[in-house]
A and B are shown apart, each in its own frame.
Chain A
Amino acid sequence: MAIKVLAFGQISDILSRSEMEFSAMKDTEELRREIAKQFPGLSALNYVISVNKKIVLQNTSLKDNDVVALLPPFSGG
């Protein structure tokens, strides 16, 4: 049972990698909490989550082999 997590932008710096795996997570909120616990630097950052490429702004249940992406907003131009 695993969930693949892809990191974008500054998040990949904080995680020191652009891809990692997490063991079974009930939903995106649990995943957010777990990531924040392991990477406190992430708490100051705003980001949205996608599950299997679909942006989900509200808590969403996760299942085995889901691919979750963490996307921060960019403002540069």
Chain B
Amino acid sequence: MNSNKEHSRYQRQISLKEFGEQGQQKLQQAKVLVVGAGGLGCPALQYLTAAGVGLIGIVDHDCVELSNLQRQILYTTEDVGRPKVEVAAKRLIALNPDTKFQTYNVRITNANALEMIKDFDLVIDGSDNFSTRYLVNDACVLLDKPLVYGAVLRFEGQVAVFNLEDKLSNIKTNYRDLFPEAPEFSLSCSEAGVLGVVPGIIGTMQATEALKVITGIGKPLINKLLTFNTLNNSFYDFDIVNSELNTVYPKTKESFKEFNYEQSCFTSVTEISKEEFDNSLKESDVLFIDVREVDELPIVNDFKHLKLPLSRLKVEWNSITANERIIVFCNSGQRSLQAVNVLRGHLSTDKVFSLKGGIAEYFLADSFK
């Protein structure tokens, strides 16, 4: 430790005999990338910063939304509309000026992931969709980086440490040994809901696992997945083994860049801007489809559209009649990208587009006019 000030900041953990000055030095030298500054990312970032991790990378392309504040505790009401990485970095620097931050206000894709991850020692997955989860997993496998995984839904969460070898058995597993391929259908938190404390608990557990891996204390969740159910306070753990079914993943950096991660690989051609959306509203032969679940806010009354939640669209796509163009939208622009994929596939047309950023951002832009 260089100074008394630093020593007193970290005194409570340095005084742990397993941790000590040595643990603090390891943290100071550590470089951790947190993917997603949302419900999981916020608490993970706060605890890693507070603990004195030397360099923290934050990647997130979203802006703060009002519906985030129930669980994303780094942000305040005033921050709505501002880029998450900017707000997060500002708050975290104030928390601990010893930590350096590298922010990436972009969506992590297979075009930029390897470059982004390569200089970090450990990655925390706090993303909110399957395509990013598989992409980050595969990138960590290719670059041989430990990955601390966390995911939540409703009242439950999952946490695991992937791609780190168990010293006794020499076995190393990853997300694809658990779920070899992304599911065709799944619910996100905006569809299924989540209790705010759940990502708080799971994100904090991810930070705990990261601190254990970096400092070498305790037994991290290697080759294990731990689940926690807040309703009945039950923990359950699963042993993960190398699976023969884990075959569908890119084996080289080149094939990673060409691998189809669905949403993350969509190019701008599938997405339209707010301006293009406005122009399309004036055309006659365009079908607009709201693919959000019923009851999701904001309610859209401003233009004629069909309400067909993504979960139903996947089975009822044949109820859609031919149109010159179809424009789908959801809250953030992620589910609508899935809907584009479904409709383009089934209707054999490429004239299906998704509103970039979703209807929430669309209305937000409107309210600033």
Q: What is A's interface to B at a CB cutoff of 8 Å?
A: 6, 8-10, 18, 44-46, 48, 50, 53-55, 57-58, 69, 71-77
B171 to chain A, nearest CB (A): 13
Pairwise interchain contact B245-A53, C-beta atoms closer than 8 A: no
Please give, as numbers and ranges, the residues of chain B lying within 8 Å of A74 by CB-CB distance. Answer: 151-153, 156-158
Q: Which of B91-99, B127-135, B213-221 lies at the interface with chain A?
A: B127-135
For residue B152, which residues in chain A have a CB less than 8 angstroms away from its CB? 74, 76-77
Tell me whether A77 and B238 are in contact in the complex, defined as CB-CB below 8 angstroms, given that A9-B156, A55-B178 are known contacts.
no
* Docked pose: A3 CA to B156 CA in angstroms: 24
How many angstroms between the C-alpha atoms of A48 and B36 in the bound complex? 26
B82-134 contacts to A, CB under 8 A, are: 125-130, 133
A46 and B185 form a contact (CB under 8 A): yes
Neighbouring B residues of A46 by C-beta, 8 Å: 179, 183-186
Which residues from 184 to 203 on chain B have a C-beta closer than 8 Å to any C-beta of chain A? 184-189, 192, 194, 199
Binding site for A on B (CB under 8 A): 36, 38-41, 125-130, 133, 150-154, 156-158, 177-180, 183-189, 192, 194, 199, 225, 227, 229, 232, 236-241, 243-245
From B36, B185, B192, B238, contact of A69 by CB (8 A): B238
Residue of A nearest to B227 (CB): A8
Q: Shortest beta-carbon distance, B160 to chain A, in Å?
A: 11
A61 to B116, CA, bound (A): 44
Q: How far is the CB of A51 from chain B (nearest CB, A)?
A: 10
- Give A45 to B184 CA distance when docked, in angstroms: 9
Give Cα distance in the complex from A46 to B130, angstroms. 13
CB-based contact A48/B179 at 8 Å = yes
B36 touches A77 (CB 8 A): yes
Which A-chain residue is minimally distant from B185 (CB atoms)? A44
User: 18 A-B residue contacts at CB 8 Å?
Assistant: A8-B227, A9-B156, A46-B184, A48-B179, A50-B239, A53-B239, A54-B238, A54-B239, A55-B239, A57-B180, A69-B238, A74-B152, A75-B128, A76-B39, A76-B192, A77-B127, A77-B150, A77-B152
A55: chain B residues within 8 A (beta carbon): 177-178, 225, 238-241, 243
Is there contact, CB below 8 Å, between A9 and B154? Answer: yes
State the CA gap A75–B239 with chains docked (Å). Answer: 20
Are A77 and B40 touching (Cβ within 8 A)? Answer: yes
Asked if residues B185 and A77 are in contact (CB atoms below 8 Å), the reply is no
